[in-house]
Structure 1
Amino acid sequence: MKKTTILGGVAIVAIAVAVGLLWQNGDTRADDVAGTNILTSQPPTAADADAVMRGKYVAIAGDCVACHTAPGSKDAFAGGYTISTPFGGIVASNITPDPEYGIGNWTERDFYRAVRHGKGKGGQYLYPAMPYNAYVKVSDQDMHDLWMYMRSVKPVNYKAPETDLGFPYNIRLAMMGWNLLFFKNQGYQPDSAKSAEWNRGAYLVEGLEHCSACHTAKNMLGGDKDTYLQGSNLAEWHAPDITPNNYTGIGRWNEQQIVDYLKLGSNHVAVASGPMAEAVTNSTQHLSEVDLRAIAVYLKSVPAADNVPPQPLATESAQMKMGANVYSANCSACHNSDGKGIPHLAASLAENPGLLADDPSSIITTVLEGGRGAVTEGNPTSGAMPAFAWKLSDEQVAAVATYLRNSWGNAAPAVTAKEVADQRKLLKQPSQMPAH
């Protein structure tokens, strides 16, 4: 009887705690500072010009256009882009001021609650592919300016396809449980022990730039693990460690080299490619020098991953010898025999932390399908790499990837032919053409 009473008491306490946390995470009162006028009823006036310009900068920092614009579309923010997740494709919505298919009949408060709390106009839960768990840190002023900017963009009468996930992921009410586990309903809290510059960098990285969305590993439910900014698999790509780790991270980069990478899309070692090239092109290249410096200061201060380099693989192994031959025949013209590449054009492979993660997805993807570096105002030509899927077998791609990861001071686990075959299938890249 006593045991039953204790268990019952524990259950009641647990339920009370869960209810309390659900209430806390569902509390959107912070958004009540916003107005309740319908968007189209108050078109921006000349007096709003400054707010619109500031809001455009906020939208750029948040990289809103990347997800809310379909590939190849000339209609910015009209939606239709499918965000790939382990649970299925999530289609980004139309966020232009169109009253039928966009947010033209939203109030400012509706907008705040969607962006910062993941709740649509009708109260429905949004999927966290919309990074409201980061945007919750965005200030009231930046939210208002963003709202003013979004009111000023061209309305597009386009109905984006509906997100259609399989059961049970199509149950949006389940996001209430996700929020309970992974959503911290709190705006940015400045650290008074840190400088204003550090706090600005933290505000940008943790909030608007939502770096954790890609660079922090996720658990099976899609929530962040406790390996903040230490790298994460994105299926086709691996978002690398961007902590001050000297092996897999950016510990050997100084602040200016971080700024250069974010501004130009390249620095002394790395050339942004894949999703990061898009982020640089659409977002970070347009940030002010002050903000880029603040980001660099913050990134240099976060706890470093505890990754340590293994012993490099023996150069006389069969796989390393094959890799050396493949590299000499196909790669050395641009990346040079010493692996140091061409500054701002062909990435350096020597001591390049992006190559050294346990997860080799990015290097496999790059070899198979090629790619183009970020196109920026400071580096408008950028570099391009051809695809080698048609030319190299799975064994050859694995060998050259292994060679890159274990030469010129690099050290990382070997890449297998199966990993390449799986990635080739995921990317829908062709098999090696038969020799004639």
Structure 2
Amino acid sequence: MTKSGIIAGAIAALLIGGGAAAFAIAWRPAISAIDPPPPQSFDPALVKRGRELAAIGNCSDCHTVRGGKDFAGGLPVPTPFGTVYSSNITPDADTGIGRWPEAAFRRAMRSGVNRDGQHLYPTFPYDHFTNVTDEDDQALYAYLMTREPVHAPARDNQLRFPLDQRFVIAGWKLLFLHRGTYRPDSSQSAKWNRGAYLVEGLAHCGSCHTPRNALGAERPDARFAGGDADNWDAYAINSQSPAPVPWDAQALSIYLRQGWQSDHGTARGPMAEVVSNLSQVKESDVHAIATYMADVFGVPSPERKRQGDEVLAQAKSPSPVALVDVSGAAIYAAACASCHESNRPLPYGGVNLALSTPISGPDPRNAANIVLSGVRAVEGERSPIMPGFASSMTDDQIVALLNYLRSRFSNQPAWTGVEKTVADARRTQTVFLQTSPGPQSAPADPAQRDKP
């Protein structure tokens, strides 16, 4: 054989070997379909437990399009690489998971592979769900398989090549999917360990609150250092938190349970959905999450504690009116002061804005979203309410208001790019309203939904 023939043969062998290796890495077998199990075949106690776990995982909000049927999928999830649509996880036999055996469900949770053997995009946070126990996966499966079946075919994802090819995700998993990484810490309390298990697993808090690298994976060197979620700033929830008053376990527990806390304000944006779901779970689990996260925040330094005490003291006495921006001050006096300076406690009065994280946060995005859309009352609950000003204020007026709020109620430097932030926030809100069929339908009574 000639030298060129030997080289060509070696290259062909390498290509064949590389292709075989890539196939072995990417290929996953299909799992045989089953007949949808009857709802009454599941233990009601297991279903009830699954409902609470699904609430902790915020499953309904990711798998339910606004105005659509529960868990029927179709929710667009924007990413830097395109848009991924959530899947139908109702027990519909044709378009949902009705023909999935429990083993297929567990594989999807642990490895991000569906029943047919296709790799799932990591917008489904299986990099966290891989930490969920077999027992909890079983309860989640029982809960989902007893929901109302909904015929809702999957929408085509809008991803650019080559990311529209699912086998590419196998390479992402080799780099970033670390299975079974959660280990209980014997030096910590049972409550702390329960909170760690939930936060690092089903609750997947890091998915929003941790920045991501160029390939869309969470950065392990910046855990809980802040991220993005649906055009909202997901604040740092560690020692870098921009909250004017440091968080502790008690404040976190109240906030996560009822959606507002007197020293920190009200949950808005995606976080409002999270706390709405957490209001349905056992208080002990919420306390456990708060205990673990308080440890992640860490004990505030003496200087940080002193600053927080000063903010609290100032919040209890009238603050002087700053005239840095006369137009902003006038808008605040006309539209905001009657609630935010009423001295009525939450939720009946507005939060003292000196305690507001959106005003002290690193950018004005969340504050702009709140001014535009307001805070809607929760039906049947004692909850904060605030009108939105999208239709009654121009962009220039909202910019002036935000600059005034920052200068008066925060000791942080002035924001930059406020004009662009407000324009982007209004455009995003307009697109959302135009593409949404209407308000989310009220969920059925949980007690009734859990009946097999």
TM-score bracket, shorter-length normalisation: 0.7 to 0.9
8 Å contact 1:369–1:429 — kept in the other structure?
Answer: no
Q: Is the 8 A contact 2:229 2:270 kept in 1?
A: no
Structure 1 residues 321 and 116, CA gap change in structure 2 (3 angstroms): farther
Determine whether 1:228 maps to 2:204: no
Q: Deviations over 1:75-112 (max 9, x none)?
A: 22111222222322211111111111111111111111
Do structure 1's residue 51 and structure 2's residue 49 form an aligned pair? no
User: Match for 1:343 among 346, 349, 373?
Assistant: 346
Matched, 1:139 2:116: no
Amino acid at match of 1:136: T
- CA deviations 1:27-57 (Å, max 9, x no partner) are 999xxxxxx7855364354672222221222
Q: Secondary structure at the match of 2:354?
A: coil
Cα deviations across residues 320-378 of structure 1 (Å, max 9, x unaligned)? 433222211211111117xx6741243331132343221221111111232326x387x
Cα deviation for residue 298 of structure 1 reads 0.6
Change (3 A) 1:173 1:413: farther
In structure 2, which of residues 173, 186, 189 is the aligned counterpart of residue 195 of structure 1? 189
* Superposed displacement of residue 419, structure 1: 2.7
* 1:370 maps onto 2:357 in alignment: no
In structure 2, what is the equivalent of residue 404 of structure 1?
A: 405
How is 1:30-429 mapped onto 2 (pairs within 5 angstroms)?
38-40=33-35, 42-45=37-40, 48-73=43-68, 75-225=69-219, 226-234=221-229, 236-245=231-240, 248-249=242-243, 252-268=246-262, 269-281=264-276, 283-302=277-296, 318=324, 320-336=325-341, 342-345=345-348, 346-372=350-376, 375=378, 380-415=381-416, 416-428=418-430
SS in structure 2 of the partner of residue 96 of structure 1: coil
Code of the residue aligned with 1:343 in structure 2: it is L
Alpha-carbon distance in 1 for matches of 2:167, 2:158: 15
Give the whole-Å Cα distance in 1 for the aligned partners of 2:125 and 2:337.
Answer: 40
- Identify if the C-alpha distance between structure 1 residues 224 and 56 changes in structure 2 by more than 3 Å, giving closer, same or farther: same
Aligned with 2:153: secondary structure? coil
- 1: CA distance between counterparts of 2:149 and 2:428? 36
CA contact (8 A) 2:243 2:355 kept: no
Instruction: Measure the CA separation in 2 of the matches of 1:42 and 1:132.
Output: 25
Q: The residue matched to 1:242 in structure 2 has which SS?
A: coil
Q: 2:438 maps to what in 1?
A: none
* 8 Å contact from structure 1 (residues 323, 399) kept in 2: yes
CA contact (8 A) 2:209 2:227 kept: yes
In structure 2, the CA distance between the partners of 1:429 and 1:172, relative to structure 1 (3 Å rule), is closer
Aligned residue in 1 for 2:7: none
Distance 1:256 1:72, change over 3 A: same
8 Å CA contact 2:346–2:384 kept in 1: the answer is no
User: Which stretches in structure 2 are left out of the alignment for 5+ residues?
Assistant: 1-13, 308-319, 433-452
Shift of 1:303: 5.3
SS at match of 1:406: helix
Q: 1:359 to 1:350 in 2, by over 3 A?
A: same
8 Å CA contact 2:36–2:98 kept in 1: the answer is no
Report if aligned partners of 2:57, 2:203 keep a CA contact under 8 Å in 1: yes
Q: 2: CA distance between counterparts of 1:47 and 1:92? A: 26
- Inter-CA distance 425–191: structure 2 relative to 1 (3 Å threshold): same
TM-score w.r.t. the length of structure 1 is 0.80
Question: For the Cα contact (< 8 Å) 2:265–2:355, is it kept in 1?
Answer: no
Query: Is the 1:241–1:250 Cα contact (8 Å) retained in structure 2?
Result: no
Cα offset for 1:284? 0.9
* 1:173 shift after superposition: 1.9
Deviations 1:261-284 (A, max 9, x none): 111111113111111111222x21
Give the CA deviation at 1:317: 7.3
Query: Per-residue CA shift, 1:62-85, capped at 9, x if unaligned?
Result: 111111112112x22111222222
Larger RCO: 1 or 2 (CA < 8 Å, sep 6+): 2
User: Secondary structure at 2:407's aligned position in 1?
Assistant: coil
CA RMSD in angstroms, aligned pairs only: 3.4
Contact 1:68 1:76 in 2 (8 A): yes
Query: How far, CA to CA, are the matches of 1:169 and 1:125 in structure 2?
Result: 12
How far residue 199 of structure 1 moved from its aligned partner, in angstroms, is: 0.6
C-alpha contact 2:77 2:123 (8 A) present in aligned 1: yes
What amino acid does structure 1 have at the position aligned with 2:142?
A: M
